[in-house]
């Protein structure tokens, strides 16, 4: 038995190598059971999907496989494959990442977060709301992981002040300094110092709880239960808010940009999705979902007590809230007065957002109409603004310097250096996006998308509103176990062909699938933000499963509501568009046998 256990451990230790070697052999039947070109393309897609789900290779490395496999298998020439890795969509995303680097470089995000917390108040429900609003706003522009990594140490400092962690002020200052150093070094990924600190205090917290519950009065027992629940509510609200906030802008999360890139690949004439139109659709949805999520988390974890609205607060809670208020105020004061660089970054950030929104808002002519049609894209706008960051001075220019011969002749420091951009921008995501676009191009050129569409006959009778709900549920469940980027890369070609078979606007199915990828709330492994919060040691899997189940249900229902109300007017979802009809005529056999019953059902909603 011991030998068997040792063998299992050895197999587990080399599991990635086994998947790497065995998966290509296990998928050989796919090559034999499909038409040659379609089978080879599906083989590559399934192989990449297995590697992504099992992480046999790093995600970005797996995304490079089309550069090797598509030319060797005769699916696409290398010139067509490689060009997919540098589409204008990639540069739009790159501009957002560079802007985020500049914001983090000058701590503007931390100033915004602390200011919002000072405004909302220190009662637990209000603090949770402040945390969620701030995290979601930051996640609209920064990566979800970076937003979570920045907000969790702030939440921990507030929780320690609320519940009286027995640390000396000197120790707390040292911990705060370590946390800041850790964040500065690992902004876009983890917060190891803070997470290790949280995990190390878990045993102490449990010991204290046991001591209190054994001989403490009942009111102290209630306070300990209240403390535990509020702590969980704080920690779980931050990753959820990051995932929700990332859906509000095209640059907020990778699946949104993959949708934009695949639309340009499958439907080159489609021009209804841009930064402005997406924001008008997704931002109201994000706000509604955020408010509903806040109510659910606050009720579940005691931030809002439905049975005790008029119950008087205990002195312990009053004192704790006063301490929390002081901690937030003290952290804000440590930032010092607003620097010229922070003001400049905030100005360029506002210009960045306004220019992207107003380029082509659809309901009125945008500023891009002043130029040749089709020449100006969101990528042009974004890159224009971020280039300025590399030469605009970080200190206020002084004309007196030119006339003061004794003034030091120091070189001007820009708002952002290329070295800092290299260190903080997650370049692996750019490759991941490119791999998704290359995969979509392979599906289109090989005819695999047509073959998939031909196998979707059983779904032709499904009413479009029901299809939206089913698609969102399936993708939300799938992305609980797989990368949301990999999930949407796999599903979007299928959704595009399904929409053509149903004779509905492809956006009516592709947008819910895209946003559904971000609605992964039930498991720690679902998203990096969930993993970071879970690694604190204060959350259990059952806490996330219990909270995330209703979050998933609310997300599916709210997304369905949005698609059948204001999204219809923004994206013209009530008709089968000409740009999709051209694709259907070029890529599939005539669909004369398909009735327009589903389209009329959509128009009646």
Question: How does pLDDT run across 176-232, given as a tens digit for each residue?
Answer: 443 444 334 333 333 333 333 333 333 434 333 444 444 445 666 666 777 788 888
Q: What is the pLDDT of residues 409-444, one digit of tens each?
A: 777 889 999 999 988 888 888 888 888 888 888 887
pLDDT number for residue 97: 85
Res 383: pLDDT: 92
Query: How confident is the prediction for the chain on average, in pLDDT?
Result: 79
| pLDDT reported for residue 512 | 93
Most confident of 253-267, 287-301, 349-363, 471-485: 287-301
Least confident of 451-465, 479-493, 558-572: 451-465
Average pLDDT of the residues in 111-139: 85
Of 445, 450, 440, 494, nearest in space to 589 by CA: 450
The DSSP call for residue 592 is T
Supply the pLDDT for residue 216: 47
- Answer for the pair 432, 60: CB distance below 8 angstroms, yes or no: yes
- CA 236 to CA 544: how far, in whole Å? 7
Q: Is the pLDDT of residue 175 over 80?
A: no
Q: What is the DSSP letter of 77?
A: -
Query: What pLDDT was estimated at residue 318?
Result: 72
Q: Are 76 and 445 in contact (CB under 8 A)?
A: yes
Is residue 517 a contact partner of residue 484, using CB atoms and an 8 Å limit? yes
Give the three-class secondary structure for 188.
coil
Show the CA angle centred on residue 86, arms to residues 84 and 89, nearest 5°. Answer: 95
Confidence grade of residue 164 (pLDDT, cut at 50, 70, 90): low
Instruction: Record the tokens describing residue 204, joined without a space.
Output: 């102490």
Position 566 confidence tier, pLDDT thresholds 50, 70, 90: very high
249 CB contacts (<8 Å, ≥6 apart)? 140, 141, 256, 275, 278, 279, 282, 283
Percent of the chain at pLDDT exceeding 70: 81
Mapping DSSP to helix (H, G, I), strand (E, B) and coil, where does residue 375 land? coil
pLDDT of residue 219: 61
Nearest-angstrom CA–CA distance, 135 and 114: 11
Whole-angstrom distance, CA of residue 526 vs CA of residue 545: 11
Residue 341 has pLDDT above 80, yes or no: yes
> Sign of dihedral through CA atoms 264, 267, 270, 272?
negative
The model's confidence at residue 306, banded by pLDDT at 50, 70 and 90, is low
Burial zone of 37 (CB within 10 Å; 0-12 exposed, 13-18 middle, 19+ buried): middle
| pLDDT surpassing 90 at residue 560 | yes
Long-range Cβ contact pairs of 424-429 (< 8 A, separation 24 or more): 424/100, 424/101, 424/104, 424/105, 424/187, 424/188, 425/94, 425/97, 425/98, 425/101, 425/188, 426/97, 426/143, 426/188, 426/189, 428/58, 428/59, 428/60, 429/60, 429/93, 429/97, 429/143, 429/254, 429/485
Query: Among 10-19, 279-288, 306-315, 570-579, whose mean pLDDT is lowest?
Result: 306-315
Q: What is the pLDDT of residue 295?
A: 93
What is the CB neighbour count within 10 angstroms for residue 71? 16
- Per-residue confidence band for 72, with pLDDT thresholds at 50, 70 and 90: very high
Which residue would you say has higher pLDDT here, 54 or 167?
A: 54
CB-CB neighbours of 505 under 10 Å: 25
Q: State yes or no: pLDDT of 70 exceeds 80.
A: yes
What pLDDT, on a 0 to 100 scale, did the predictor assign at position 486? Answer: 78
**What confidence tens digit (pLDDT) does each residue in 478-534 have?**
888 777 887 888 888 888 888 888 888 999 999 999 999 999 898 887 788 888 888
Helix or strand run (H / E) with residue 543: helix 541-563
The model's pLDDT over 345-388, given as tens digits with 9 standing for 90+, comes to: 999 989 988 888 888 877 778 888 888 887 888 889 889 999 99
Which value, in Å, is the radius of gyration of the alpha carbons in the chain?
26
Contact 416, 390 (CB under 8 A): yes
What residues contact 14, with CB distance under 8 A and at least 6 apart?
A: none
Judge whether 588 and 455 are in contact, CB under 8 Å.
Answer: no
Three-state secondary structure along 213-241? HHHCCHHHHHHHHHHHHHHHHHHHHHHHH
**Residue 316 pLDDT grade (very low, low, confident, very high; cuts 50, 70, 90):** low
Nearest to 267 by CA among 584, 595, 603, 22: 584
What three-state secondary structure class fits 527? coil
3-state secondary structure of 353: helix
Beta bridge partners of 393: 414
> Are 150 and 183 contacting, i.e. CB atoms less than 8 angstroms apart?
yes
Residues 6+ apart with CB under 8 A from 149: 183, 186, 187, 188, 189, 190, 191, 532
Using CA atoms, how far apart are residues 278 and 273, in angstroms rounded to an integer?
6
């Amino acid at each position: 038995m011991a030998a068997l256990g040792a063998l299992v451990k050895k197999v587990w230790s080399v599991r990635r190598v086994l998947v790497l070697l065995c998966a290509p052999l296990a998928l050989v039947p796919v090559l034999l059971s499909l038409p040659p070109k379609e089978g080879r393309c599906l083989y590559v897609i399934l192989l990449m999907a297995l590697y992504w789900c099992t992480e046999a290779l790093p995600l970005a490395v797996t995304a490079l496989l089309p550069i090797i496999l598509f030319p060797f298998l005769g699916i696409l020439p290398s010139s067509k494959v490689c060009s997919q890795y540098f589409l204008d969509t990639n540069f739009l995303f790159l501009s957002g990442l560079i802007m985020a680097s500049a914001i983090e470089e000058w701590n503007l995000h931390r100033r915004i977060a602390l200011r919002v917390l000072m405004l909302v108040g220190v009662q637990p429900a209000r603090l949770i709301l402040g945390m969620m609003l701030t995290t979601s706003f930051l996640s609209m522009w920064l990566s979800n992981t970076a937003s979570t990594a920045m907000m969790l140490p702030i939440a921990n400092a507030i929780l320690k002040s609320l519940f009286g962690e027995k640390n000396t002020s000197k120790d707390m200052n040292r911990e705060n300094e370590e946390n800041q150093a850790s964040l500065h070094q690992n902004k876009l990924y983890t917060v190891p110092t803070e997470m290790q600190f949280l995990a190390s205090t878990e045993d102490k917290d449990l010991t204290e709880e046991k001591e209190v519950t054994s001989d403490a009065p009942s009111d102290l027992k209630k306070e300990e239960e209240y403390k535990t629940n509020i702590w969980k509510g704080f920690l779980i609200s931050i990753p959820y808010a990051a995932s929700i906030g990332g859906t509000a802008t095209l640059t907020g999360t990778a699946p949104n940009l993959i949708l934009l890139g695949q639309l340009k690949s499958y439907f080159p004439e489609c021009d209804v999705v841009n930064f402005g139109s997406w924001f008008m659709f997704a931002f109201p949805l994000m706000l509604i979902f955020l408010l509903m999520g806040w109510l659910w988390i606050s009720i579940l974890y005691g931030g809002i007590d439905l049975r005790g609205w008029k119950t008087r607060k205990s002195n312990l809670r009053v004192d704790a809230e006063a301490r929390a208020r002081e901690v937030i105020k003290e952290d804000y004061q440590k930032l010092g007065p607003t620097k010229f660089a922070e003001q400049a970054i905030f100005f360029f950030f506002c210009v960045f957002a306004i220019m992207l929104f107003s380029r082509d808002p659809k309901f009125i002519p945008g500023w891009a109409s002043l130029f040749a049609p089709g020449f100006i894209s969101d990528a042009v706008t974004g890159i224009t603004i971020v280039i300025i960051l590399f030469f605009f001075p970080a200190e206020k220019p002084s004309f007196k310097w030119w006339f003061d011969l004794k003034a030091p002749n120091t070189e001007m420091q820009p708002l952002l250096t290329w070295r800092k951009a290299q260190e903080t921008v997650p370049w692996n995501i750019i490759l991941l996006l490119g791999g998704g676009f290359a995969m979509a191009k392979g599906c289109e050129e090989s005819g695999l998308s047509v073959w998939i569409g031909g196998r979707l006959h059983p779904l032709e009778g499904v009413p479009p509103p029901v299809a939206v709900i089913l698609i969102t549920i399936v993708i939300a469940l799938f992305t609980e176990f797989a990368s949301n980027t990999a999930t949407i890369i796999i599903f979007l070609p299928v959704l595009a062909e399904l929409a053509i078979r149903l004779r509905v606007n492809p956006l009516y199915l592709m947008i819910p699938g895209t946003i559904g990828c971000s609605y992964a709330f039930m498991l720690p492994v679902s998203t990096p933000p969930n993993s970071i919060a879970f690694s604190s040691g204060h959350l259990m899997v059952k806490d996330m499963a219990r909270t995330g189940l209703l979050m998933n249900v609310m997300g599916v229902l709210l997304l369905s509501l949005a698609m059948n109300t204001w999204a219809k007017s923004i994206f013209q979802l009530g008709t089968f568009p000409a740009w999709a009809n051209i694709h259907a005529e070029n890529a599939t056999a005539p669909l004369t046998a398909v009735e327009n019953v589903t389209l009329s059902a959509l128009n009646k909603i």
